[in-house]
Structure formats: C-alpha cells, structure tokens
Amino acid sequence: PLSDDYIKFIRFAHDRIERTGSGIVAMVTNNSYLSGLIHRGMREELQKTFNEIYILNLHGNSIIGELSPGGDPDENVFDIRQGVVISIFVRDNGEIADSKIFYHNLFGLRKSKYEFLNKETINTIEWKSLENLTKYNFFIPKDFSFYEEFAEYKSVDDIFPIKTSGIKTHRDNFVIDFDHDNLVYRFNMLINNENSIETLKKNFSLRNTKSWNLEDARKSLNAVTNINLKIRAFYYRPFDIRWLFYSSNFVERLRKDVMDNMLQKNIALLTMRQVVGDDFRHVFIANTINDMNILTSHHVSQVTFPLYLYPKDNIDMLFDDLSTSPWYPDPNYDDRVPNLDPGFVAKMEERLNLEFDPYLSGRKHNIENYFGPEDILTYIYAIFHSPTYRDRYAEFLKIDFPRVPLTSDADLFRKLVDLGRELISLHLMESPQLQARMTHYPIVGDNQVAPRGGYPKHSPPEGDQAGRVFINREQYFEGVSIEVWNFEIGGYQVLHKWLKDRRGRTLDYDDIEHYQKIVVALSETIRLMNEIDAAIPGWPLE
C-alpha cells in the first residue's frame, strides 16, 4: 500500500531534492513500486523530478515464488520474503526535459548477487534504457506490442455490469467447515445460553474486534428459527466446496447484495484485475457463493461476475438493475434477467449475424439462428483458456481485467461455445467424463493426510510405475502425470493445494472419489485448452 514506510522515505528524499534543486538519492527498498498499479502516480512524479533513474532490481520475492528466467531458484539478498531493489535517482540543476530510466535485472542465488554487487559499479553495469512506458509508467521492462489491439476489446468489467469481490469472513475457522453438521453443532452451542461468552471465545478461538462483538452477534441468532437455512454451500478454493454460515452478523464482508443472486440457479465468472506472478491462470467458474481467495492467497480478491440477476425481496432493486434491463424477466426462472451490457450484446449480434435470445433455454425451434446468455459466458470462458490468448496479452492480463475479442465467424463462435461449455461442466464437477477414472488408490490404510513430512508428495513416473501422489508414507493415488500434478488455477497448484488443506484429516470415501475426479477434470482441461487453440485460425480474431 501507499502507506508503506519505504514509500514515505522515498517521498521525503524526493521532497528534499525538489527543495534544493539538485542531488542524488540512493535507497535499498521493497521493489513493489516498480510495477504496482497503485504506485503509478508515484512513478510519474519521480520522472518529473529526476533527470536519470537507475533501477537495479534484485528480485527474490518468495511471496509469489519468484524464479530466475530459466526456472532456477532466485534468492533474496536479505532474510525477507518481499523482493528488493536498489534505486538511484539523479537530479542536476537543469530543466527536466526528458527523464531517462535505466534498468538491470539480477536473478540467482544470494551468493552470486553479493558477488555482483561487490564487483560492479554504476558505470560497469549493462543498463537497459526503458522507453515507451505507456500510461502506467512502469519502472520495469514490459512488452506492450499488442496493447492497442487488446485495448479495443471489451473488458469483462464492462460486459457484466453487476459484480462484487468474493466473501471475506475474517474468521474462517469458525464460520466455514468441511462438514455441514459441524456448523450446525457450533451455532447451536451459541444459541444455548448456558454457554458463557468466555467459554465460547475459548472453545472457538474467537475475539472481539472494533467492528465485531460476539455477544451482539449471538443476540442476532434469537431471530433464527432454523440454523440449517443459514448454512450454504460455499466455493472456497478450486474444486473445494465447503459450508458457510451465511450471515452478515458473523461474516465480515458478505457482499450480500450481489451474492444473493448466487443462492439461486446461476453461474458466475471469477477472474481478477491484477495478477501476482508471471502467468495468467486466474479464471474459474462458480455456481454458488464464493470466497475472496478462491484464485489467490495474496490478499487480492477475485471478482465475481454473476450471469443472472434475480429480484430482491429485502432491498430496493440493486442499482435499479432489473427495472432498467432491456430484457423482460424470465418467468421460468423466478423473473431473472441477464447481467449483460446491452451494447456488448448488440455488438455480438452485429458481428455474428445472429439474434440474442435471453430465454434461449426455453426455445424449442430454429435455435441455430440465436445465441443466449450462457453462450456468451461459455464463449468467454473458452477464450480465456486459450494458451495463445494468455501468452499474447500476458503483460496486460497482469494489470487489468481480461478483455473479450469477438469473432464474426459464427461457426468458430459455436465451436468455442461448445468447448467452453465442456470446460465449465468439468470445473463444476458435473461432466459425465468425470466417471472415467484415470487413477487408482490401491493401498489400504488410515487414509490420513500426514500432518508432517511434507505431504502430499508427487513421485514421477518411473519404468512401468505411473506417477503417484502420496498422502502419507504408505498410501497414494496412482496415475497422476507430472503435467496434471503441476497444473495451476490462479495462484494454486490444484492437486497439491486440495490435499495440503486437509493435512491431519482422514479422507472418507467421498473425498477419495472427489480427488480422483479432480485429476480427470485437470487432464481434460489441458486437452481442451489445446483444442481451443487449435480451433482458432489466427490472432487477432476475425
């Protein structure tokens, strides 16, 4: 954040140079300001003041698992997790006509970085001049070759007008559980007035905060006639659905106005505006309420874009969204309307020479001349899973919402819709393909994911032995390829994350079945991503 102390120190030095008119500032700091979106104004002001800016980026950010370009380890020069930079700002007495920025990367082991720093000087380092910094004024090299092309596309932030960040509970261990009955028991204990506040705090590791008080929250349960009605399926992490006590009296940020739409028959695109790391993998799907960290653990919430909006019983029409919709409410689905920008829909109609039908699911005849809301979503989902799309627009997907290129080829559109629909069916664990097992769980044991020893572990294929994922010393899932094991959604290595979150727990039959289905879903996702790329004849789309 801009309140970080290192930014205050840079600003203090900046102010001193502005007052004196000339000087040199050299600092060793956090390197987040080099490319952070919130630091854009800071970078712009530095360019206005200094003739020359030298950036020696020492990297070493273990928070995002930073590696050297070749995939080798990249160590920090200090015993910290945040990346580091040496910045040198130079101002002479003349006017600042054109600030020059010079940049150099330093990756590798700590020892090699120390050797470099001990040997080199500002005059011997091979600096790279940064030019064409665009409106973001980044202090790191960026490839903006396709920026104008990408900027022409419509952002998902505009395509789906109503959206929200994911739910933030601030007390996951209390309001979320793997087991529905555990939550019922927990909240029945709260209702039972024989249990004192202090006992409850101790038993459930709860504490009051400035914005939350257990005693007040407990009183709110007096109006709850059936605890079960407050407990909802909750998408917590990729392929990891748990249970949530859905109440603003216990959940810090419920996002209720928008999330209530996900309590009915609905589907939502999940993605992010800003991505931590080098690759865009930050897109998923949900058919229920969802957590803010479903795509990343870096305290940057994904955004939930519901496809449909439902009438609200307890509040005024949300932003008047239903009353101003150009489409009549669908009586077959509780008067819902599509959460889509009419201008974008009209553009699709024009490009495809097809007509949009908001009630397509109820149409019986002549369906080939129409497309509906779910066709739009599945098309977008396919596009966002194209490896070429992710690579071509990689720099922009780190700093902005993904954007949607349109095609005028109706056959290509239909093909991508079908592929996107397959992906969504897999990711919602609804596809019949999930019944075809790729793995075995052959060893009888206690089924506990070992709490220590670094489990889960993957053992690569060797000879006739298929890849194995060990949950403890003896038991494993067999038939997991290294490609599937390493597959990531958002910031998570899916197969590792799912088991890691269950360390110390005993897997039951349903857990074991579910994990084997995840393996199939990821394997099929890899196949479909390649099929999507093969279906698209070239970029930009035509």
Is the pLDDT at 313 greater than 70? The verdict is no
Question: In the prediction, which pLDDT does 65 show?
Answer: 82
Residue 436 is classified by DSSP as S
Is the pLDDT at 96 greater than 80? The verdict is no
Is the pLDDT at 316 greater than 60? The verdict is no
How many Å apart are CA 380 and CA 390, to the nearest integer?
Answer: 13
Q: What is the mean pLDDT of the chain?
A: 92
Confidence of residue 315 (pLDDT cuts 50, 70, 90): very low
Q: How many CB atoms lie within 10 A of CB 127?
A: 17
Is the pLDDT at 145 greater than 80? The verdict is yes
Question: In the prediction, which pLDDT does 364 show?
Answer: 60
Write down the residue that tokens 């989902």 correspond to. 381
Which of 173, 170, 176 shows the shortest CA–CA distance to 209?
170
Domain locations in the chain as residue ranges? 5-142, 434-530
CA distance from start to end of the chain: 41
pTM of the entire structure?
0.87
Task: Name the least confident of 142-151, 313-322, 361-370, 487-496.
Answer: 313-322
How many Å apart are CA 89 and CA 26, to the nearest integer?
Answer: 6
How many Å apart are CA 41 and CA 485, to the nearest integer?
Answer: 41
Question: In the prediction, which pLDDT does 300 show?
Answer: 76
Is the pLDDT at 517 greater than 80? The verdict is yes
For 424-456, the pLDDT digits (tens) are 999 999 999 999 999 999 999 999 999 999 999
Q: Which two tokens stand for residue 401?
A: 């919402």
Is the pLDDT at 295 greater than 80? The verdict is yes
For 53-77, the pLDDT digits (tens) are 999 999 999 888 888 998 899 999 9
For 361-420, the pLDDT digits (tens) are 666 656 788 999 999 999 999 999 999 999 999 989 998 999 999 999 999 999 999 999
Is the pLDDT at 314 greater than 70? The verdict is no
Question: In the prediction, which pLDDT does 321 show?
Answer: 56
How many Å apart are CA 392 and CA 383, to the nearest integer?
Answer: 12
Task: Name the least confident of 173-177, 321-325, 356-360, 508-512.
Answer: 321-325
Is the pLDDT at 272 greater than 90? The verdict is yes
Question: In the prediction, which pLDDT does 332 show?
Answer: 86
For 11-48, the pLDDT digits (tens) are 999 999 999 999 999 999 999 999 888 898 999 999 99
How many Å apart are CA 251 and CA 199, to the nearest integer?
Answer: 21
Cβ atoms 267, 281 nearer than 8 A? no
How many Å apart are CA 498 and CA 406, to the nearest integer?
Answer: 35
More confident residue, 70 or 288: 288
How many Å apart are CA 268 and CA 283, to the nearest integer?
Answer: 11
For 148-192, the pLDDT digits (tens) are 999 999 999 999 999 999 999 999 999 999 999 999 999 999 998
More confident residue, 1 or 398: 398
More confident residue, 95 or 454: 454
Confidence of residue 217 (pLDDT cuts 50, 70, 90): very high
Question: In the prediction, which pLDDT does 362 show?
Answer: 60
For residues 433-454, one letter each, b for 16 or more C-beta atoms within 10 angstroms of the residue's C-beta and e for the rest, the string is ebeeebbebeeeeebbbbeeee
In which element (H, E) is residue 411 found?
Answer: helix 410-427
Question: In the prediction, which pLDDT does 285 show?
Answer: 98
Residues forming beta bridges with residue 303, ordered by sequence position: 165, 271
3-state SS, one letter per residue, for 511-524 = HHHHHHHHHHHHHH
Q: Radius of gyration over alpha carbons of the chain, in Å?
A: 26
Cβ atoms 394, 275 nearer than 8 A? no
Question: In the prediction, which pLDDT does 319 show?
Answer: 45
Cβ atoms 32, 9 nearer than 8 A? no
Cis amide linkage into residue 540, ω under 30° from 0 = yes
Q: How many CB atoms lie within 10 A of CB 203?
A: 11
Q: What percent of the chain has pLDDT over 70?
A: 95
Taking each helix axis as running N to C, give the angle between helix 197-204 and helix 180-191, from 0 to 180 degrees, rounded to the nearest 10. Answer: 160
For 328-378, the pLDDT digits (tens) are 888 888 889 999 999 999 999 999 999 999 988 666 656 788 999 999 999
How many Å apart are CA 502 and CA 450, to the nearest integer?
Answer: 9
Residues in Cβ contact with 496 at an 8 Å cutoff, skipping those fewer than 6 apart? 456, 458, 485
How many Å apart are CA 33 and CA 136, to the nearest integer?
Answer: 12
Q: Which two tokens stand for residue 179?
A: 């087991």
Cβ atoms 518, 489 nearer than 8 A? no
Question: In the prediction, which pLDDT does 405 show?
Answer: 98
Q: What percent of the chain has pLDDT over 90?
A: 79
Confidence of residue 317 (pLDDT cuts 50, 70, 90): very low
Q: How many CB atoms lie within 10 A of CB 192?
A: 9
Question: In the prediction, which pLDDT does 312 show?
Answer: 78
